């Protein structure tokens, strides 16, 4: 049984259909890159999958059950990182992650004998020595690393990542590619959007252009 099933999914924005008849299955161990040009609905699709948008037609199922019926349960198995780092800039990296740990239950956190090592997570993402500096004093890339440090802290089965490599240098990108691959090898599932070429084996591609209507495709072609 698939982990996440999309059946006949259709989304529109401003009275324009973004994609339609979208059928796709995500299984444990899958890494899925959602592709398509700007404006084709990649972020909209991620918002639908996370429950942040209910403006769609079709079915979403989690392990065979309607996602809407078990949404609160599914949230406990999901980690979503959006375009924005989603951090409080007046707080330090350590304080931001302490806040995150405070709102998650113990079984949602990656811990050893009940202890969550925030400093280790920050060290792994290259923020050693920056733990107590207010985030507004950090570069855009460092702020993004604070957000991505959550991947080291969460036990979520499903990672949904919207442009996670924004402002990240090549060394940092390599680290997070490895982290994503390791998560999949442990049975996790990753859906992400990125304009960066990924050096990840066995990645699945979901191109939203394949699920656009002819009218939408022609309109975009004429615009270019």
Host domain of residue 174: 1-77+157-224
CATH number at residue 53: 3.40.50.300
Quick one: tokens of 126? 């290259």
Taking only the tens place, the pLDDT of each residue in 51-85 is: 999 889 999 999 999 999 999 999 999 999 998 88
pTM, entire model: 0.92
Residues 64 and 164 in one domain: yes
Q: Mind giving me the DSSP string for 88-101? A: -TTS-HHHHHHHHH
218 has pLDDT over 60:
no
Residues 138 and 176 in one domain: no
- Considering the chain, what percentage of its residues have pLDDT values greater than 90? 78
73 and 54 belong to one structural domain = yes
Last residue of a domain, one of 155, 171, 204: 155
Based on the fold, state whether residues 109 and 219 are members of the same structural domain.
no
Distance CA 193, CA 81 (A): 11
* Number of structural domains in the chain: 2
């Amino acid at each position: 049984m698939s982990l996440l099933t999309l059946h006949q999914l259709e989304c529109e924005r401003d009275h324009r259909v973004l994609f339609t008849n979208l059928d796709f299955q995500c299984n444990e161990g899958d890494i899925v890159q959602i592709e398509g040009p700007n404006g084709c609905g990649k972020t909209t699709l991620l918002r639908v999958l996370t429950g942040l948008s209910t403006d769609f037609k079709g079915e979403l199922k989690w392990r065979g059950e309607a996602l809407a019926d078990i949404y609160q349960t599914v949230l406990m198995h999901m980690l979503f990182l959006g375009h924005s780092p989603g951090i409080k800039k007046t707080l330090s990296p350590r304080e931001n992650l302490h806040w995150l740990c405070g709102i998650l239950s113990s079984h949602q956190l990656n811990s050893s004998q009940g202890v969550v090592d925030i400093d280790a997570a920050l060290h792994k993402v290259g923020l050693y020595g920056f733990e107590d500096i207010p985030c507004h004093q950090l570069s855009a890339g460092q702020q993004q690393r604070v957000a991505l440090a959550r991947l080291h802290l969460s036990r979520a089965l499903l990672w949904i990542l919207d442009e996670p490599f924004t402002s990240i240098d090549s060394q940092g990108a390599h680290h997070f590619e490895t982290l994503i691959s390791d998560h999949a090898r442990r049975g996790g599932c990753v859906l992400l959007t990125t304009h960066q070429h990924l050096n990840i084996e066995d990645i699945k591609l979901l191109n939203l252009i394949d699920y656009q209507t002819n009218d939408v495709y022609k309109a975009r072609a004429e615009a270019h």
